[in-house]
Chains A and B, each alone.
Chain A
Amino acid sequence: MTKSELIQRLAERNPHLYQRDVERIVSTIFDEIAAALARGDRVELRGFGAFSVKQRDARTGRNPRTGDSVSVAAKAVPYFKTGKQLRDLLNAG
């Protein structure tokens, strides 16, 4: 399912809304989550899951082709932990 298919499915469930508004709803949600993570905030959607940012230390990596060692700078990576309810839903039955 792509973002536009998600919008399509929501539009079908909400025939009273303009498609344009459904698009803005979906975009707003993901923009807000991304903006929160960019600020270093956590986003917790209980039952669904939580987005957070994890810090990775600088390390010495290796170019797998040449074996040369290269330094990899410290960086932050987005992380998602599945919520209990969704995890249970995936493993029901």
Chain B
Amino acid sequence: MSERTITRAQLSEAIYQEVGLSRNESADLLEMVLDEISQALVQEEVVKISSFGSFSVRRKGQRVGRNPKTGEEVPILPRRVLVFRPSQLLKGRINAKA
């Protein structure tokens, strides 16, 4: 089985097929969904999509890193990272043998 990459094009095509909006509006709605999720995460809201998984933001403190090429110590500044936790259902689907 060769691995394919699905992009916005296939997802908006699926919306077009399933819901019957125009292709343009299907693409716009997909973008709005990603935008709403992003905006919620920026506000540090947890985004829970039942039967799929949840996205949350974790704050990381400052730590000392090292430039692997020069060995020089550089501070890694505090930052926020996104964490995705897949639901049990999604994990199960991925391991289901066809």
A residues sitting closer than 8 Å to B (CB atoms) are 1-3, 6, 9-10, 13-14, 17, 21, 24-26, 28-30, 32-34, 36-49, 53, 75-80, 82, 86-87, 89-91
Report the minimum CB–CB distance from A30 to chain B (whole Å): 5
Residues of chain B at interface, number, CB under 8 A: 49
Which A residues are in CB contact (< 8 Å) with B26? 25
Which A residues are in CB contact (< 8 Å) with B57? 90
A6 in complex: contacting residue of B10, B19, B37, B51, CB < 8 Å: B37
B residues sitting closer than 8 Å to A (CB atoms) are 1, 3-8, 10-11, 14-15, 18-19, 21, 26, 29-30, 32-34, 36-38, 40-42, 45-53, 55, 57, 79-82, 84, 86, 90-91, 93-96
Report the Cα distance A42→B7, complex, angstroms: 9
Report the Cα distance A72→B6, complex, angstroms: 31
B6 in complex: contacting residue of A14, A32, A78, CB < 8 Å: A32
Report the Cα distance A87→B95, complex, angstroms: 29
